[in-house]
Structure 1
Amino acid sequence: MGPQNVTYIGSFPPPYGGVTVKNALLYKRLSSILDLEMVDLTHVKRLEPSFLYRLARALLSRDGALVIGVSADWRYRLTSILYLLNKRKMSRSILMVMGGRSPESTAYAERMNGYLKVYVETEGMKRAFEQMGSRNVDIYPNCRERPSTPVKVSRTDGSIRCVFFSLVSPDKGSRIVLDAAAALPELEFHFYGRVEEGYEEEFSSAVAARPNVHYHGVFDSVSGDVVGELNRYDIHLFPTLCPNEGVPGVIAETKMAGIPTVASDRSYNGELVEDGVDGILTHEDSAEELVRILSMLSSDPERVDMMKTAALESSGQYVIDNYLGRITKDLANLEEEHVDDADLIS
């Protein structure tokens, strides 16, 4: 028999970001199967008393299990609390790793071995965790729901339409894209996403100076049809410069939309984009490299169409239905445990 209650701890939208969107989807699907309670860390971070109490109760109570979906800092905090104060409940709980950072030490990896299961997003992450001593790691990619209507690969015709669908910041490669747009006036460039604080004026000026660049604001990826929106374009641009880039959900979404990605070859992008098949990995982080690739693709629309088909065909590995069974099985197979107060501090 499974645990009487399961609490999902994580941050949820708004705001809309990689962690919050991933949590919203997983919570939505698990709550249709299990009796779930939610503790939204967005309210905990604001020090709202009722949510602080709910978090403490979830971490220290003897019954039930936890599903924890958090980024690196909160992962360390919650793991440490459970390891020190409630190992028994920890052994019934699941950690969903958000982002690409592996354990900083073997001691931290050993603490995470206290969980029933730790889910990471790629094979490369799994290997990195295991090299640090993790023994309970499995893979849950940055999943999305299967589109409600079948996606048709759009034929590349006329001017290439490129889309940037991330946090709009220099670290995510926005300057590289804008410089490439200035050199390729015959191509269209469309930006979606929140503009990083302190970068607004520079970005607005750059957009205003380029007739082929358009900014569409923040897209509601939870209630909106993100796949349908992305399907309007030909090429997705992801020239991120972030050294600790995790697994961006937008790459799963562009695959489902039948859109190839041009991405920088860093972090785990090489596992997500098959170079030359369903996208292209850049060899250097520069506008010149992006101009070279986009010029080549613009002159060969048939190749773009083949990449679109390959992207769509590879999207199945990111459909959440393919992974829910193993997570619910982990929780459903738990035996009820009744522990003494002493067990909580063992």
Structure 2
Amino acid sequence: MKMRQKNNIPIFLCELPPPYGGVTVKNQLIINYTLQLQKPIDIIDLYECKRNKKSVLKTFGKIIISMLTQRRIIYGFGSYKRLKIVIYLQRLCGGKKSLRMSKNIVMGGVFQDYIRTQKCLKKLLIQMKTHYVETEGMKAELEKMGFSNIEVFPNPKSETGSCPPQISKPNAPLRLVYFSQISKEKGVKDIIDLVSLLDRRKTVSYCLDFYGHIKDDIKTEFCEFIKESPYVRYCGIFDSTKSNVYQKLNTYDILLFPTHWDTEGVPGILIEAKMAGLAIIASNCSYNKEIIQINKKEGFLVYNDYPCEMYKIIKQLENDKNLLYQIKTASFQSRIRYRLDEYKDIIKSL
């Protein structure tokens, strides 16, 4: 009887790498909300094998037993290659029945591109119960490829602690913030060029804070930039386990997100900025236009010359604080599309 009850409890086979990663944040959010709903779930963290090499045999033993005993598995992997390995393993150990009970929470925005190159894997993934992708665009592409088991779960966030926008004082400097990994692919070089424009033209009063892990590809240039820029600060890595990220973001006016990283689905920082009532300036990269659905109302998209386009928008908003407040308000109102409570039925069904 106990074994039968145990088999009814799903297994969340996931990755929980260090806390500043989007995969960890999304997986932990699902775990926390599931527990909040008092829904039993067993968790197997594949990243534990990296933390403690002695746990490799024990972890894989748990995985194989769960497949052999036909446990319902929910996948939450940041790596599509590792997902591929365990899907093949599940087919081998648990057969078609095991696959048909399983669900997959997709991370990032290029799952469909990876599947196009994996014909055998695609056949197995089509057999699974559900894949939860982050955007409508991803869903449409996968359905064109023959999938009929796709639902949208767009990296939602808890609304607890969300903050309505602050009214910017007429003569106060614009408070700009960058809140992501500090790397070339995330557009930090474009922000460096933007600051050069702002300082050279001297038409906008501003201050800019950076938060995030600094990648080696830009570390030397970025540190030199911080030293030479009087209105720019590096504030380290924000620890959301100790402080409320919405309250911190709410102290700013505009989030800068000129990413070139085309593998993203729904970047968590864009949702957090909405929850905090910020105006957003983001590149028209990946699926950002799905998140800023109404350009120049919920936020702004930049298309080609990111530094120049960002400069023009910032200058416009500094000259018209009423418009800035309207954009911040519309951004805050659009958070409703990404409230975790809107997707509680999906989490209940896992």
Q: Distance in 2 between matches of 1:51 and 1:275?
A: 48
Query: What is the match of residue 309 of structure 2?
Result: 289
Query: What is the match of residue 143 of structure 1?
Result: 156
Q: Distance in 1 between matches of 2:31 and 2:40?
A: 11
Query: What is the match of residue 333 of structure 2?
Result: 313
Q: Distance in 1 between matches of 2:345 and 2:242?
A: 24
Query: What is the match of residue 230 of structure 1?
Result: 249
Structure 2 residue 154 is the aligned partner of structure 1 residue 125: no
Structure 2 residue 260 is the aligned partner of structure 1 residue 241: yes
Query: What is the match of residue 181 of structure 1?
Result: 195
Structure 2 residue 201 is the aligned partner of structure 1 residue 159: no
Cα RMSD (Å) of the superposition?
2.0
TM-score, structure 1 as length reference: 0.89
Query: What is the match of residue 321 of structure 2?
Result: 301
Query: What is the match of residue 283 of structure 2?
Result: 264
Residues 175-215 of structure 1 deviation map (CA, whole Å, 9 limit, x = unaligned)? 11122112224211111110012422211111111011111
Distance 1:52 1:303, change over 3 A: farther
3-state SS of paired residue (1:118): strand
Letter of the 1:31 counterpart: L
Aligned mate of 1:24, from 7, 24, 28: 28
Which runs of 5 or more residues in structure 2 are unaligned? 200-204
Letter of the 2:336 counterpart: G
Deviation at 1:245, TM superposition (A): 2.2
* Count, aligned residues: 329
Contact 1:227–1:257 (CA under 8 A) maintained in structure 2: yes
Letter of the 1:202 counterpart: E
Q: Which has the higher contact order (CA 8 A, sep 6+)?
A: 1
Distance 1:285 1:142, change over 3 A: farther
Residues 125-150 of structure 1 deviation map (CA, whole Å, 9 limit, x = unaligned)? 111111122110001111111123x6
Q: Distance in 2 between matches of 1:180 and 1:36?
A: 47
Query: What is the match of residue 5 of structure 1?
Result: 9
Distance 1:22 1:267, change over 3 A: same
Query: What is the match of residue 39 of structure 1?
Result: 44
Query: What is the match of residue 207 of structure 1?
Result: 226
Q: Which range moved further: 50-59 or 224-233? A: 50-59
Contact 1:165–1:192 (CA under 8 A) maintained in structure 2: yes
Contact 1:11–1:42 (CA under 8 A) maintained in structure 2: yes
3-state SS of paired residue (2:127): coil
Q: Which range moved further: 179-188 or 14-23? A: 179-188
Deviation at 1:50, TM superposition (A): 2.5
Contact 1:110–1:134 (CA under 8 A) maintained in structure 2: no
Q: Which range moved further: 177-186 or 80-89? A: 80-89
Determine what percentage of the aligned residue pairs are the same residue. 31
Deviation at 1:90, TM superposition (A): 2.2
Structure 2 residue 21 is the aligned partner of structure 1 residue 14: no
Deviation at 1:114, TM superposition (A): 2.2
Structure 2 residue 239 is the aligned partner of structure 1 residue 191: no
3-state SS of paired residue (2:116): coil
Which runs of 5 or more residues in structure 1 are unaligned? 332-346
Residues 100-140 of structure 1 deviation map (CA, whole Å, 9 limit, x = unaligned)? 01122454333212221110011111111111221100011
Deviation at 1:257, TM superposition (A): 0.5
Structure 2 residue 101 is the aligned partner of structure 1 residue 92: yes
Q: Distance in 1 between matches of 2:335 and 2:180?
A: 19
Q: Which range moved further: 43-52 or 237-246? A: 43-52
Contact 1:39–1:55 (CA under 8 A) maintained in structure 2: no
Q: Distance in 1 between matches of 2:247 and 2:271?
A: 13
Distance 1:221 1:80, change over 3 A: farther
Contact 2:130–2:149 (CA under 8 A) maintained in structure 1: yes
Deviation at 1:275, TM superposition (A): 0.8
Aligned mate of 1:53, from 47, 50, 58: 58
TM-score, structure 2 as length reference: 0.88
Letter of the 1:305 counterpart: Y
Q: Which has the higher helix share?
A: 2
3-state SS of paired residue (2:48): helix
Contact 1:83–1:114 (CA under 8 A) maintained in structure 2: no
Residues 251-282 of structure 1 deviation map (CA, whole Å, 9 limit, x = unaligned)? 11000101121111111001011211110000
3-state SS of paired residue (1:98): coil
Q: Distance in 2 between matches of 1:163 and 1:263?
A: 12
TM superposition outliers: structure 1 runs of 4+ over 6 Å: none
